[in-house]
Amino acid sequence: MTNTRDAYFAAANTAAGFVSSFSELFDAASGEWNKIYILKGGPGTGKSGFLRKTADAAEKRGYKTERFYCSSDTRSLDGVRIPELGVALLDGTAPHMVDPKYPGAVEEILNLGMFFDAGVLREHTTEIRALSGENASHHARAARYLRAAGEMRQVRRGLLDGAFLPEKAARAAQRIVRLCPTEKTETVRAETRFATANSTQGYVHLPSAENSAAHLISVGDKNGIAAGFLSALVTAAKERGVSYVRYADPLLPSETEGIYLPGCDTVYLADRFGAVREDAEHLNATRFYDSARLGENREKLRFAAKCETALLDGAYEALASAGNVHDALETYYISAMDFRALDAYTARFLKSVFG
């Protein structure tokens, strides 16, 4: 299967706070990018639309894109990469706050804020300050819920670890990676991506990896048991020198919710996301656990899972409230924007990139 785009999240709202992958995804020092455009401007100044139009233009011309969505507002884009051209664009405003390492030589700042009328905004300074403070308050409340949910996940993980059979899981993982071709050390690719977000829209999963891979293996995840085997698979890929993309859990990024093995064009994914493809194969992860020990802890696991779910629901309610406030804040900036001038600027930019 082929696709003209991949879609991931560039960051995550985790139990330990906001975690960003921007420094790895848009690394000007890597030599991977000829040009990186850093977008600046307030909320509602059209940054996400600018990114979307650039990605659409690239795909229309046959280039494959990587779209990185905002982990808080999953309707908005945070970044776009066009690997064939060596071109990347990202939102460099809070909470990422990206500034150039090599101004002009590699990075260039695009200030979309130059198209708003600051006088209009100054008339609403009181409202803008109040909404910004309210937004921060909702995010702080969400962070407390996520931190508590992470504690419940750790309780559940401790109960599962006591029943896990690591040697059995390692042997199975090694058999799998032996089917993938080994590579030269310099070509081995080892990446971590977020395909799921704790967001203002709740728990959101982007299925681009499992939709585009030739094979999908759905790993049973009752009570969170898939993470043990998936971590063993990551370790086996590292040891054999096989390329992989690890999909990190957005609550506890050290946990693995999926792995893509490009050499075999296969994705192994925890089945919490449902049956995304009819041709998916299924792997029963309970075989990597001592069934008697699991049975002893079944009620404790259910209780911890119920607590985690309730705390996550609290986080999603707080994030949704933050999203509503952010939308209200955007209306002030939208009312002050000259979108006709922005459209003309966007057209000139696309012409400069694509000819």
pLDDT at residue 227, rounded to an integer:
95
Give me the helices (H) in the chain, please: 22-25, 47-60, 118-122, 125-161, 166-177, 208-212, 226-240, 291-296, 298-336, 339-354
pLDDT at residue 275, rounded to an integer:
54
pLDDT at 157 over 90: yes
pLDDT at residue 274, rounded to an integer:
64
pLDDT at residue 74, rounded to an integer:
92
* Model confidence band, residue 217 (pLDDT cutoffs 50, 70, 90): very high
Spatial CB neighbours of 242, under 8 Å, sequence gap ≥ 6? 177, 180, 181, 182, 183, 188, 236, 261, 263
Assess contact for 66 and 80: CB atoms under 8 A.
yes
Mean pLDDT score across all residues of the chain: 93
Write out the DSSP string of 286-303.
GGGB-HHHHHHTHHHHHH
> Distance (Å, rounded) from C-alpha 170 to C-alpha 190?
19
pLDDT at 139 over 50: yes
Helices (H) and strands (E) in the chain, counts: 10, 16
* Model confidence band, residue 2 (pLDDT cutoffs 50, 70, 90): very low
19-70 pLDDT tens trace? 999 999 999 999 999 999 999 998 999 999 999 999 999 999 999 999 999 9
232-291 pLDDT tens trace? 999 999 999 999 999 999 999 999 999 999 999 999 999 987 656 788 899 999 999 999
299: buried, middle or exposed (CB in 10 Å: 19+, 13-18, 0-12)? exposed
Spatial CB neighbours of 26, under 8 Å, sequence gap ≥ 6? 33, 36, 79, 81, 88, 90, 98
pLDDT at residue 3, rounded to an integer:
55
Query: Shortest CA distance to 200 belongs to which of 95, 52, 326?
Result: 326
Preceding amide of 95 cis, omega within 30 = yes
Of the chain, the percentage scoring pLDDT greater than 70 comes to: 98
Assess contact for 86 and 35: CB atoms under 8 A.
yes
Give me 52's structure tokens: 């979307």
Average pLDDT over residues 171-175: 97
pLDDT at residue 210, rounded to an integer:
84
